[in-house]
């Protein structure tokens, strides 16, 4: 699917890294040709009037567990980094190569290679061959690699290949099969729980090994006060450490589990209100680099169970944009920063020419009405499963149009 005709989007509020710009954007041959207040359509261009609404880069969702095209398109996502926890795992070049082609032409799926064979944390997978097959990063999957020797070799190998290592930050020996964070709420509910320090211990070790190896480390989800402090300190020392978070962990605390609703059964589990406030502060001060959906749809067979027995996960692709724009309305961040977190920074981690509005980059674009109100309703979701923790919640921000490589694909 190639852009057959150049197009110009006029009367738009353009989201650029430098700020918001009123003007137009022209794309040709699948890339952004020009943008700014002085850009005008050329002869033969298709013209789209944005009517003063936002034109932003298509979202790059970093670390999803399933590919749901309709849900991604609804949420303004044009690229998704797929975790290796598939069936079978993405631990062979042939599997990576297949996934790398699976979403085209209207969604690009960027596979994250499994760090170890079978994601078992013991023997390194063939990272170089998987990189050649299309892997854009390497990930430990849903679990932490407990063996420090294996983790160090992984980081050294990835550093040689200039691949970022995406890690899950929970010390498995402490976390075990816990369904909640240790504290008053878990005690009252009688849920198996693990201390929040399981995250800090995992982060501290991985940062130390990444420094030793000279590797790039991305902690996919940081959710605790101590975890944010460790990442903040690592950045202050100049280490190549980045981190992400999902909307559930900056909008909800463990109080949301009080009714045993399994849609709030997540990994890592929801934290205390103090940790939630620390997450908002970390987003505001730049400690957090990525907001991702954590899209992990689970069917009723996995969720209609006692809380401790239900599988963790949430369908997050459709609500990612609206939940992030909520931070703008609350004054935590501004609009350009919102799209740095959801598009520009994840694109840079993956090394793909997208994620921001700049001449020469791919024309992955979203037309957005940031003020459009809607009610999140799991019964109407586009995802393959409806397990959202935000069911029946009012929000704002809708995608009015979506372009992949300059070709309109939605709305």
> In order of start, what are the domains of the chain with their CATH numbers?
59-350 (3.20.20.140)
Q: What pLDDT score was predicted for residue 196?
A: 96
Question: For the whole model, what pTM was predicted?
Answer: 0.96
Task: Write out the two tokens for 23.
Answer: 């003007």
Q: What is the rounded CA–CA span in Å between residue 316 and residue 268?
A: 15
pLDDT (tens digit, 9 = 90+) per residue, 218-249? 999 999 999 999 999 999 999 999 999 999 99
Of all helices (H) and strands (E), which one includes residue 219?
A: strand 217-219
Tokens of 254: 């463990």
Q: What is residue 383's predicted lDDT score, i.e. its pLDDT?
A: 85
- pLDDT score at 146: 96
What pLDDT does 382 receive? Answer: 87
pLDDT of residue 411: 62
Residue percentage of the chain with pLDDT more than 90: 95
Nearest residue to 333 (alpha-carbon basis) of 284, 285, 282: 284
Measure the CA–CA gap between 134 and 243, rounded to whole angstroms: 23
* Helix and strand numbers, DSSP H then E, in the chain: 14, 18
């Amino acid at each position: 699917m190639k852009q057959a005709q150049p197009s110009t989007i006029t009367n738009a509020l353009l989201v650029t890294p430098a700020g918001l710009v009123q003007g137009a954007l022209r794309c040709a041959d699948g890339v952004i040709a020009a943008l700014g207040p002085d850009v005008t359509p050329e002869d033969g261009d298709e013209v789209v009037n944005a009517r003063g609404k936002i034109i932003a880069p298509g979202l790059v969702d970093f670390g999803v567990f399933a590919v749901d095209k309709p849900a991604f398109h609804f949420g303004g996502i044009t690229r998704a980094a797929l975790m290796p926890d598939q069936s079978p795992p993405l631990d062979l070049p042939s599997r990576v190569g297949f996934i790398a082609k699976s979403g085209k032409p209207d969604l690009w799926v960027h596979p994250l290679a499994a760090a170890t064979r079978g994601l078992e944390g013991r023997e390194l997978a063939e990272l170089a061959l998987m990189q050649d097959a299309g892997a854009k990063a390497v990930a430990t999957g849903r679990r932490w690699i407990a063996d420090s020797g294996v983790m160090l070799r992984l980081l050294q190998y990835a550093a040689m290949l200039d691949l970022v290592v995406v890690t899950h930050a929970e010390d498995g020996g402490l976390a075990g099969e816990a369904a909640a964070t240790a504290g008053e709420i878990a005690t009252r509910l009688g849920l198996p729980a693990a201390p929040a320090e399981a995250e800090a211990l995992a982060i501290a070790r991985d940062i130390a090994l990444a420094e030793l190896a000279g590797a790039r480390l991305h902690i996919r989800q940081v959710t605790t006060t101590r975890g944010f402090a460790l990442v903040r300190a690592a950045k202050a020392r100049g280490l190549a450490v980045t981190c992400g978070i999902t909307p559930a962990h900056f909008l909800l605390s463990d109080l949301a589990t009080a009714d045993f609703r399994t849609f709030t059964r997540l990994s890592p589990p929801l934290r205390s209100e103090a940790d939630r406030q620390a997450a908002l502060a970390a987003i505001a001060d730049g400690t957090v680099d990525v907001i991702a959906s954590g899209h992990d749809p689970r069917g009723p067979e996995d969720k209609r169970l006692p809380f401790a027995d239900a599988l963790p996960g949430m369908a997050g692709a459709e609500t990612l944009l609206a939940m992030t724009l909520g931070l703008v309305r609350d004054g935590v961040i501004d609009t350009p920063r919102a799209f740095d977190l959801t598009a520009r920074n994840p694109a840079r981690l993956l090394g793909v020419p997208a994620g921001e509005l700049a001449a020469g980059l791919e024309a992955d674009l979203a037309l957005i009405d940031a003020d459009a109100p809607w009610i999140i309703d799991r019964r109407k979701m586009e995802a393959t499963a409806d397990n959202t923790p935000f069911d029946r919640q009012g929000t704002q921000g809708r995608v009015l149009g979506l372009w992949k490589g300059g070709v309109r694909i939605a709305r």
